[in-house]
Structure 1
Amino acid sequence: MKKKWIAMMVVLLLSSLALIGCSSNSSSDGEGDSNKKDKVDLTVNIWAQPHEEEIYKTIIADFEEENPHVNVEFVVTPGDDYSTRLQTLMAGNRTPDIFYVGGGDVNFYVDTGRVLDITDLANESNVLDLDNMWESGISRYTVDDKIYALPKDVGPFAYAYNKDLFDAAGLEYPSSTDPYTWDEYIEVAKQLTVDQSGNTPNDAGFDSRKVKQYGAGFWWVEPAVYSNGAHWLNEDATEITIDDPKFIEALQYVADLRLVHNAVPSQEAEQSTNSYSRWLNGEVAMFPMGPWDQAAFWELDFEYDLMPWPASPNTRESKTWLGSLGFAVSASTKHPQEAFELAAYLTVDEDAQRNLMERGAQVPNLIDMAENEYLELDFAPESKHVFLDVIKNSSQPLPHELTYDGEWFDYFSQTVVDVYEGRKTAEEYVHEVKPKLQELLDASIQKAERAKANQ
């Protein structure tokens, strides 16, 4: 009986060894390895317009199909709530594997250890060609020569105009390459501003309280300041420079579009119906536009195209600002390789970029695609090259992106309405507010120094 039991055990042992051998042979096969990869769960948290959300769902589904071992939870948070929601997740140790950072937030996230240094992953990647990506995108997320995010996009703010309103006023369309001067722009904007009686600001009977059509929507001051050769900060971003006469001139120019020339909505009119809604309704002749607006503007009841921002008479240059968001990988992700691969896929995969481009969501991150396929697309705006001109030649980052935090710029944005509403001249305002802005900037610099000392 004992001999039979021993024989049985030997048979079982040999059978087990055979099975182990079969298993070993199977796993040496390339396809077997892929099928047996551990499942990876990633979370992506961004904000997006509805049409962008649908596009990203498609792109992520394609990534999952190509990487069957990866499961992606895709979460879209409303833009107004995004920052608060992200901070809450981080505080609860539930940071998404991939999330948006803006160019002005990178230093903070780097210094607090929230984002992964992806420099080596980027340099070793066989899908990421940094030479074929916009430098103005990559540089937003590079700190001390290390890359901490990949650009979701570059967002050139061009200037759109309503062709139908130009036709009705008997005006020639603006050039897509030769910008109006500030004075030319004022005259055109006034001719396109009409009250309920059909009068323009050039007519004696014009009633600024009863305007039904404005020459332009409310302006951002950045294009005027940059075009006039001025800035909020000195070169190393340590001093506030808004008392520069060129800055004062630019700020007053923007305020006078409303206060003197009546060509843009007053603060009261803006609160009643904002300029974006007026543009959509065909009640504003010229309005800022980013590439992400393309799909939304396909539904407009009028024809439109792009023009450069007006050029300063002093510099003869047209400048504006370039926005961007980046896909950052969390420093706490359990799957840095897969998270990076997904971020790279969202950033540079040709099919993904073509999807975003053809559905009017953005200018491609791939330079060769932007300079060829994008310009040939048969949808409005016709003069898409204006977007590329901004990216290549005529843009700067927003001022707060040059500093550790943006509290100083927030204060400027909140208080400069005194100039726009005519309570103070630009000169009075800048001299009054400069010390406070410098105090906030100094505090920002000190925060940066403390953060670096604690690294």
Structure 2
Amino acid sequence: MHKRWLIAPALLAVGALLAACSGGSPTSTGASDEKVTITYGVWAGTQTPAMKEIAAAFTEENPNITVKVEERPWPEYWSTLQTGAAGGTAPDAFWMLAQNIQPYAAGDQLLDISDAIDSEGVDLAKYPKAVLDLYDQGDGKIYGLPKDVDTNAVWFNKAIFDKAGVAYPSADWTWADFRETAKKLTDPAAGVWGTAAPIDYQGGYYNTIFQAGGQVISDDGKTALIDTPEAQAGITFWTDLQADGSSPTLQQLSDTEAETMFEQGKIGMYMSGAYWALKLYDNKEIQPNVDIAPLPVGEERATVTSGISNVGYAGTKHPDAVKKFLIFASGEQAAEIQAKSGAVLPAYAGTEKTWMAAMPEFTNLQVFIDAKEYSVPLPVQGNAAEWQGEQTKYLTDAWNGTATVEDATKQYADAIDKVLAE
């Protein structure tokens, strides 16, 4: 899900049939006995059934407000987003990513729900502070609340380990252990690689940059630090795996995504997030062989964290109804619904055990929850979607071994600085 968040920000456009439910200047609030319908934009995936259940539960409590869930596939969701925001046809409520929010907040296209949070007595301490901070635009407004939280770990295939006679990862394994394990698991004759090393910021190299003691962007958000020695060490972790032949090449990973190759039993280990759990759990062929280990430790232990936020459209005709729904959709009852589906690790504190119980055969899901203790916020300064979207342009040569990490990151840092200066 989140690994693919590299598309430039946009707002979901709804059809003409739904235009009456959103767009234009705020008029009706939905707070009276008037019956209203609001739309809720999500992208396609394992979460949609739970989102529909949440919408139904909200309407049961608020009979005058009907919520219609509008699902679009990735990347269509994002490709139609900007048109919807500019043209007044965006959904009333929709999912937002931290790396995409800045242009929409700056363009006054998001609904400020601060007053509703105060009046409803929402306890913000129930949400991970790191995720809340990701959406803070420094303007004193709150545009939404997180519905889920991401951390990263290593998914691994026990059958591949067993066939190679390699011990399963330990909780305190190191970068060197990971690299050596990947080499031992790789079997070219069988078409099996020890790991996958795509150019993936959230599930991949951001984690190792922070583990090396580095940063991607300076604390003040004005300067790229991806070309510092520490950050370069974190990226070298991945280019070494490519150089070892322990991973499919970038071309092979372009032809068949790493997730698919893992499910096909062609990859022994894959770093990714908790959001992948249900998809693997529902794959009954691979499920018995799937297990989870913490990320290997570099100079320190770290994982990046983020999460989807439920936000509203500033142009909705029903702002009060939307605010009420946004608070519900990120609240405890909705979190329990999400957790029972197994589709996502909810952001709301106290619902984690329900999520784990939804997939009992995965006995080590606690790894993702424990990782919150050493998580760091996903770097999203400035127009993050734009500069993150340039990663393959500048890092591909380093991954392929045709440029040094030092040269590639210097060029990428210069490009990031230009975006941050805009």
Distance 1:430 1:52, change over 3 A: closer
1:300 CA displacement: 4.0
Matches within 5 A, 1:3-402: 37-49=33-45, 51-126=46-121, 128-144=122-138, 145-175=140-170, 177-178=171-172, 180-196=173-189, 212-219=191-198, 220-259=204-243, 261-298=244-281, 299-302=283-286, 303-312=289-298, 315=299, 317-350=300-333, 352-370=334-352, 372-376=353-357, 379-397=360-378, 399=379, 401-402=380-381
* Residues 335-373 of structure 1: CA deviation (Å, up to 9, x unaligned): 2221111112211142x3222112211112221222x44
List gaps (5 residues or longer) in structure 2. 1-29, 199-203
Contact 1:190 1:215 in 2 (8 A): yes
SS of alignment partner, residue 364 of structure 2: coil
What is the alpha-carbon root mean square deviation over aligned residues? 2.2
C-alpha separation between the residues in 2 aligned to 1:344 and 1:324? 16
- What is the total number of aligned residue pairs between the two structures? 384
Q: Counterpart in 1 of 2:421? A: 442
The structural deviation recorded for 1:143 is 2.7
Report the counterpart of residue 431 of structure 1 in structure 2: 410
Give the aligned residue type for 2:161. Answer: F
Q: Higher relative CO (CA 8 A, sep ≥ 6), structure 1 or 2?
A: 2
Whichever residue aligns with residue 119 of structure 1, its letter is S
CA distance in 2, matches of 1:377, 1:35: 36
Q: Which residue identity does 1:55 align to in structure 2? A: A
Q: Distance in 2 between the 1:266 and 1:123 partners?
A: 51
TM-superposed CA distance for 1:252, in Å, is 2.2
Report % sequence identity.
25
Residues 127, 146 of structure 2: 8 Å contact kept: no
The one-letter amino acid paired with 1:333 is T
Q: Distance in 2 between matches of 1:342 and 1:247?
A: 41
Give the structure with the larger helix fraction.
Answer: 1
Structure 1 unaligned regions, length at least 5? 1-33, 197-210, 444-455
Q: Which amino acid aligns with 2:293?
A: M
Q: Which of 367, 383, 386 lines up with 1:407 in the alignment? A: 386
Alpha-carbon displacement from aligned partner over 1:287-328 (angstroms, at most 9, x marks no partner): 12323322211224232221121211xx2x232222321111
Cα deviation, residue 139, structure 1: 2.1
Q: Describe the SS at the equivalent of 1:416.
A: helix
1:121-175 CA distance string (max 9 Å, x none) = 112215x332222222322222334311111211222221111212222222213
Instruction: Write the distance in 1 (CA, Å) between the matches of 2:255 and 2:111.
Output: 44
Deviation at 1:231, TM superposition (A): 1.8
Q: Distance in 1 between matches of 2:359 and 2:78?
A: 36
